[in-house]
Amino acid sequence: MTRANRSKIKPRMEKTTDRKQADRKQIIFTEGAKGGGGKTTLLSSLADFFLAEKIPVKLVDADIDNKSRGSLSHLFKGTPKIDIRTDHGLDQFIGMVLDDKAQTVLADLGAGSTKETWAWFEQMHESVSEEGVRFLAIGLVTNDSSTTSAILDWANALQDRVDYLVVKNKVAGDDFSYLFESEPGRRFLQLAKPTIIEMERRLADIQQELNDRGLSLRQALEAPAEIAGPVLSKSYNRMRIKGYVNRIERQFSQVIDVLLPPYAVFAGK
């Protein structure tokens, strides 16, 4: 029997006027790394948050190696798939911000485009920064030391050209000692001063259903039973999904000045 009143989660940011109306020019992107780190999972929740708050945002799926279900363009229909390894690949992001007035571009980068991204910053960042475009790099760390190595490599390449957001992904536990206790990790934390949040582990069957059905967390809550399917429509799974949304969006709200700096930052005040 289909539930007649499918509950929705309300937006949670208290002061949104400045965030919505700022003449923002920024590109938020995940640091390309090997699969399994959770970058698309995190970015889909961030996209949910922006859209729920009616913050102008342009989504971009730049992970061309991810042709499976669960990619950003699979979760958010109409999201363009862009190969940034082409001559003008990353230039298109700038066009979205400056020419199309997208304000915020939210891009999911793939592992295969790392060197091209670093080279682009070397060639273009000075000119782009003169136009007032700001960059935020999102790195995800798990208990796999290679995820910390990827964050450190990105920081070494991009240096102070970007701001940093580190997400502790608890998908495989909460041992992040390589980042927080190793000498290279502590040096990064001291010099880059990244903002740090956490993403909890989601039950495997729920996450698999979300990927297979092409649904973000909020989309799953709002979808009719025939779209959500029998697993996601179960009352206890819906309660779990609501909890996932509440907890991750609470963290986004706490770091909103990093995700969406107020107008004064972009106005140079």
Q: What is the pLDDT of residue 1?
A: 36
Q: Reduce the secondary structure of 183-239 to three states and give it as a string.
A: HHHHHHHHHHCCEEEEECCCCHHHHHHHHHHCCCHHHHHHCCHHHHHHHHHCHHHHH
Q: Is the pLDDT of residue 17 over 60?
A: no
Mean pLDDT of 205-218: 95
Q: Over 60: is that where the pLDDT of 6 sits?
A: no
Q: Class of the 17-202 domain?
A: alpha beta
| pLDDT given for residue 265 in this prediction | 53
Residue 241: is its pLDDT beyond 90? yes
- pLDDT per position as a tens digit, 187-197: 999 999 999 99
Answer whether 0.85 is exceeded by the pTM.
yes
pLDDT of residue 24: 74
Unique residue bearing structure tokens 């980042």: 179
What is the rounded CA–CA span in Å between residue 148 and residue 257? 24
160 has a pLDDT exceeding 50: yes
